[in-house]
Amino acid sequence: MSTDFVAFTEVAGDEVSAEQVERIARRYYWAADYCRGKDVLEAACGTGQGLGLLARCARSLTAGDYSPAVLDIARRHYGARFDLKQFDAQQMPFADASFDVVILFEALYYVPDVERFFRECTRVLRPGGTLLIATANKDLFDFTPGAHTHRYLGVQELHHELARLGFEVRCYGDTPVNKVSLRQRLLRPVKMLASRLGWIPETTHAK
């Protein structure tokens, strides 16, 4: 895949909504509870929005992304604080049983072969290790697939794919669909219509 993903990534300095910030914060605070005192790998770390929090609670933190252009943004921000690595999540350059926790947030659908990634996780995780995934809910009525994505897995698909590799699977929801903001209740039908008509922009900035 040749794209550098910068146009499809939430980058520091982008104009975003309060809901986007809250969603990212909740995601990493959730992960922090699993990472305390552990050796942690964040794959597809993007521009590194959660690295500071994870580093404060983990015993060690390793992070990287497929896109060198995205990593350059993270490196400019963090400097020498983190040794950010460029790697493919389907073939991670780490020894067997290296980590207690592997994190992949909002990137599973960019991985061409999801099973290869899951098998890599079984390899690099220690016995009893944890894989944390946050991903889009493809079963929402207003779901819109993104550009350059491959396959979206819902709750049932995640459970099936991971359970057959030996994972004990637990699925959680971030936002109750019956408690979304008034803004979202108004926007979601519009988004659904725009998606069906092909009017949703591809890039994060355009959205």
> Token digits for 106?
């909002």
Of 9-18, 121-130, 133-142, 165-174, where does the model show the most confidence?
121-130
Handedness of CA 84, 61, 101, 147 (dihedral sign): negative
Q: Which residues contact 47 (CB under 8 A, 6 or more apart)?
A: 9, 10, 11, 12, 70, 73, 74, 77
Span 1-12, average pLDDT: 69
pTM of the complete model: 0.84
CB 103 within 8 A of CB 130: no
Percent of the chain with pLDDT over 70: 83
- Tell me the C-alpha distance between 160 and 140, whole Å: 19
Output the pLDDT for position 11.
75
Query: pLDDT tier at 9 (50, 70, 90 boundaries)?
Result: confident
- Tell me the C-alpha distance between 126 and 121, whole Å: 9
Task: Quickly tell me which residue has 């790697």 as its tokens.
Answer: 87
**How do 99-105 and 39-43 pair as beta strands?**
parallel
Span 6-33, average pLDDT: 84
Output the pLDDT for position 153.
95
How far the first Cα of the chain sits from its last, in Å, is 22
**Amino acid identity at 21:** V
Output the pLDDT for position 147.
78
User: Over 80: is that where the pLDDT of 88 sits?
Assistant: yes
Task: Tell me the per-residue pLDDT of 125-145, one tens digit each, with 9 for 90 and over.
Answer: 999 999 999 998 888 777 777
> How many beta carbons lie within 10 A of that of residue 129, not counting itself?
20
Task: Tell me the per-residue pLDDT of 37-77, one tens digit each, with 9 for 90 and over.
Answer: 999 999 999 999 999 999 999 999 999 999 999 999 999 99
Residue 159: φ, ψ to 5°: -60, -45
CB 120 within 8 A of CB 90: yes
Show the domains of the chain with their CATH numbers.
Answer: 6-196 (3.40.50.150)
